[in-house]
A and B are shown apart, each in its own frame.
Chain A
């Protein structure tokens, strides 16, 4: 038997250096870089570098040998080699001025086809959606670029087209969930097929050149090349899922034969598409129906209601309310406000929007329209104002979407100092301790209890302030309640349905049982009973339902035990871990709350003693004064 040599097996054979890979693939470094990015093959870090590098300990760029072998089968490797040949031949043609041949060659330029790579890298559509964050951010960024060295103009134009198409989908599907204005740009989060897709749109400022020292433009351009194809196919699928025609088109009713539209139809249409202000052409006749969610919720109700299901239900309800947040409202965007993000917001939640026709094509109505309910303004004052509409700053829209309700506009009026713009990505319902101040910012109704706690011994002036605050909060609450009511009314078709569904699902079950029994009985008896019941019917004062806390606690404990028993043996450790985590979290929260309570109590005590002393002193002084007076 041959004696095994060093580095013939093990880690040394698992890795291959970049140089060796180049030699194996017969490609230049630039081509190799491109191929790797397109195929999603990235360098690896070995566990033991010296072993992987056959004894050398300098840090080299290493790849998995398996990956490189996989690249060897790729068909675009041949295309990359063809590029080299193409360059040689076309350069020859150019040199000998054989332009006829050159033209023929240019037409036969070997294009790289990437569809199979997209499919390969993202075997399912959901995989592609999961990786959409990076893709969208890059494309939105590149869509703002002028033609630069290494970044051709066609690429940025294509980026612009694809991102606009994606925005059309977001608007049509009403899948936007969260928005945030940061100093980096606008963050958007949409929920597409259950996946949360987040992307950043840069601020609308003139292009700032980026130094080549920090960013490799070539590499970024290659990434964008792949991502454009990927987003193209994703858009195709998304559009078809909504029964929209892809590439987006308008129904013929939108396109009137005006002089402008006849002159250059293509640019006219592309302008209107970029305006994001019109419904797109559908491939089916029927309008979309929003019953889908309700059916899901009904199915869930059979499962009884654990905490999770209640949470899910609430979430679904909130989302359904959010989808019609701006329905019936009519907005006008002033020229100083960035148009695109606002149009996305307003249109994806059912509002109507327009802008000055000189700002961008596709405005629907003028500023002088009296039916406008809100005008978005971002300047300290405005010369001509209409009484019929609210002049609000753009943050109002963003905050409304994040809170999922229409906020009172008074804090966002023209020239008003804005309340802080909170991040929606910090979960307001997280399990950890949330200080009451933050809670109050998120849900104004909670501030009341905080205010009530120390109303016994405070000054009158403070009280007055609180009252004003209370008044505002009350207004907000009323509005909130009204919205909820309307939303529920729409959803269930009647006020009676709301109570049944919301408060006690158990009652539902009982009623069902009753129904079953009734069915067994004969029809005559049924009518008789109904009559009897009718006679008995009267309005009685309701009783407050008392909750037996002990029983509830017992039920909870029982449920928990049952849950623990239901856990499969192999998941037991995980279950225990989860429970332990939850307990520690609860404990931490409790500790923090306790700490706050003690601090507050201490402060209160200190204030009381100070006041008492002050009173004593005053009394003493008064006594002294009286003595002196005497």
Chain B
């Protein structure tokens, strides 16, 4: 610096006050200090080895193809790098710590350092724990493998007679000192309760056959008579259904007379305008109202009067009552004497009555007996007998190769379960999603691309492609 001074003759400025000091150029000093600090931090070139400064280029000369890394590979490479957020924390300084000996305050960790114990076990219990853990994971792996192979453990005869007392160590007595009741009580109290099934669980709820055997007409190659019998059964059932439908139609739809739409509208109008009188009427009514206002108020019914009966009237009434009672008694007596002659016919009447009652009883019994074979009403819907399976005469192939199967076995099973009162009859309720009305927002001039739009577009494209393919064919 001193050498340069004569060349650039610096103008001397008074350093009287603070503002004057500020104008002083101290850049060179700063620069020097900065350089020195940097040297301290990262060291000088002379300190560094050659290997640190230079890299020997050992790669082949031509580098035509730059290997394009896939996204996944890039991601993997990036994952290896330290996080950028942590970069600020890395100490890159070469500056020595001015305080030679720092007083580290080590907080005493409470609890065990499990990781340490796992990595370098020092005590026998650490080793034990490690081996236990290994066993546990081995077992886990085994269980997972079993689950994957779907092994069902069926390795015992469950119908072998086993006494529950044998399973509980204390209760097994050879000398017969512990009674069964006591054993039951004890088992219940140590958490191994013996649950008895109640008998009604095994009761049959229907008398119908659990497994229906096939009608001979359902053979794939039936005898003509059997087939006819089955078909006639089907026809009978179908006729029954038609009859019922017709009946329903007769008693509902066709019970009401039909009118033309114009007539209907007219009637509706008429009905709806009941009470609203036309203008003339209205005028009249107003006139009437005016007239009514002048007249005094009158009810339609005569006013109720509290008339007291005279003593004489009461006496007469009582007398009349007594008289009528007497005559009634007389009449009854007379009837009885007359009935003496009618004994025979009365007996007949009674017999008839009894017979009717018996008939009723019998019919009720029959109905009850029949109901035992029918499926019970378990839920909201009534069980409806499914259609019989039948091959129409033209479908009968006569050989096994061309058998036309009727109905699905799954459906059949499902109905059997319902018929046997094991399932309540249900109907699938499909909850339809509410239709969402979509429209463009007025603020959005250009519609964006939503997933729904993409889906629609894809569908339209697929349909078009399909149509094109169809045309080609």
List chain A positions with a Cβ less than 8 A from chain B. 37, 40-45, 58-59, 61-62, 64, 66-67, 70, 73-74, 103-104, 106-109, 115-116, 118-120, 122-125, 128, 131, 133-134, 137-138, 141, 154, 157-158, 180-185, 187, 198, 200, 202-203, 205, 208, 210, 212-216, 219-220, 223, 228-229, 232-233, 235-237, 240, 246, 336-338, 378-379, 393-395, 417-418, 420-423, 425-426, 437-438, 441
Q: Are B201 and A41 in contact (CB under 8 A)?
A: yes
**Shortest distance from the beta carbon of B416 to any chain A beta carbon, whole Å:** 7
- A133 close to B210 (CB less than 8 A): yes
Chain A CB within 8 A of B325 CB? no
CB–CB A423/B214 < 8 A: yes
Q: Would you give the 0/1 interface string for B358-394, flagging 1 where the beta carbon is closer than 8 Å to chain A?
A: 0000000000000000001111100000000111000
Query: A393: which of B211, B222, B400 is its contact (CB, 8 Å)?
Result: B400
**Contact B413–A141 (Cβ < 8 Å):** yes
**Tally of A-B Cβ pairs under 8 angstroms:** 208
Cα A498 to Cα B407 in complex, Å, equals 50
A-B contact pairs, 16 of them (CB 8 A): A42-B421, A45-B376, A45-B378, A67-B200, A131-B210, A137-B409, A157-B150, A181-B403, A183-B218, A187-B214, A200-B409, A216-B426, A236-B154, A378-B400, A418-B221, A422-B223
Q: Check B424 for interface membership: any CB of A closer than 8 A.
A: yes
Q: Pick the contact of A119: B159, B407, B414 (CB < 8 A).
A: B159
Q: Which residues of A contact B150 (CB under 8 A)?
A: 154, 157-158
User: Cβ of B195: which chain A residues have Cβ within 8 Å of it?
Assistant: 70, 73-74
Q: Which of B111-119, B140-148, B334-342 contacts the other chain?
A: B140-148
- Given A73-B195, A183-B404, the answer on whether A137 and B413 have CB atoms closer than 8 Å is yes
Q: How far is the CB of B7 from chain A (nearest CB, A)?
A: 71
Whether, in the assembled complex, B269 has its beta carbon less than 8 Å from a beta carbon of chain A, the answer is: no
Residue of chain A at shortest CB distance from B150:
A154
How far, in angstroms, from A138 to B141 measured CA to CA in the complex? 34
Given A208-B408, A421-B221, check contact A394 B400 (CB 8 Å). Answer: yes
Q: Find B159's partner among A62, A74, A125, A210 (CB 8 Å cutoff).
A: A125
- Judging by beta carbons under 8 Å apart, are A420 and B224 in contact? yes
User: Out of B200, B218, B224, B413, which one reaches A182, CB within 8 Å?
Assistant: B218
**B401 within 8 Å of A (CB atoms):** yes
Judging by beta carbons under 8 Å apart, are B400 and A220 in contact? no
A213 to B222, CA, bound (A): 32
A182 touching B198 by the CB < 8 A rule?
A: no
Q: Which of B393-425 contact A (CB under 8 A)?
A: 398-401, 403-414, 416-417, 421-424
- Chain A residues with CB under 8 A of B197: 70, 120, 123
Contact B424 A61 (CB under 8 A): yes
B79 within 8 A of A: no
Q: Are A43 and B400 in contact (CB under 8 A)?
A: no
Cβ–Cβ < 8 Å partners of B454 in chain A? none
Inside 8 A of A240's CB, which chain B residues have their CB? 157
B376 and A107 form a contact (CB under 8 A)? no
Contacts of A133 in B (CB 8 A): 210-211
Query: Knowing that A183-B390, A183-B391, A441-B223 are A-B contacts, what are 7 other residue pairs whose CB atoms are under 8 Å apart, sorted by A's residue number?
Result: A61-B424, A66-B200, A108-B143, A210-B411, A215-B410, A378-B399, A423-B216
- The answer, among A64, A210, A393, for a CB contact under 8 Å with B399, is A393
Interface of B: prevailing SS: loop
Complex: chain B residue closest to A155, CB-CB: B150
Going nearest first, the 9 A-B pairs with the smallest beta carbon separation are A423-B216, A420-B223, A45-B376, A133-B211, A232-B154, A425-B213, A421-B221, A43-B378, A125-B159
Smallest Cβ-Cβ distance to B428: which chain A residue: A213
Asked if B38 CB lies within 8 Å of chain A CBs, one says no
User: Counting CB contacts under 8 A, is B186 at the interface?
Assistant: no
Would you give the shortest CB distance from A160 to chain B, in whole angstroms? 12
Q: Which residues of A contact B389 (CB under 8 A)?
A: 183-184
Nearest residue, chain A, Cβ from B416: A134
**Most interface-central of B152, B220, B380, B399 (chain A CB within 10 A):** B220
A107 to chain B, nearest CB (A): 4
Binary contact readout B137-178 vs A (1 if CB under 8 angstroms, 0 otherwise): 000110110010010101111110000000000000000000
Complex: A187 Cα to B214 Cα, angstroms: 8
For A124, the chain B residues whose CB sits under 8 A away are 159
In the assembled complex, how far is the CB of residue A573 from the closest CB belonging to chain B, in whole angstroms? 17
| A115 and B155 alpha carbons, distance in the complex (Å) | 11
Q: Taking CB as reference atom, which chain A residue is nearest B395? A: A183
CA distance A124 to B210 in the complex (A): 19
**Chain A neighbourhood of B200, CB < 8 A:** 64, 66-67
**CB-based contact B378/A61 at 8 Å:** yes
Once the chains bind, are B143 and A107 in contact (CB under 8 Å)? Answer: yes
Residues of B within 8 A of A232 (CB): 152, 154
What's the Cα separation between A417 and B398 when bound, in Å? 8
B328 at the interface (CB under 8 A from A): no
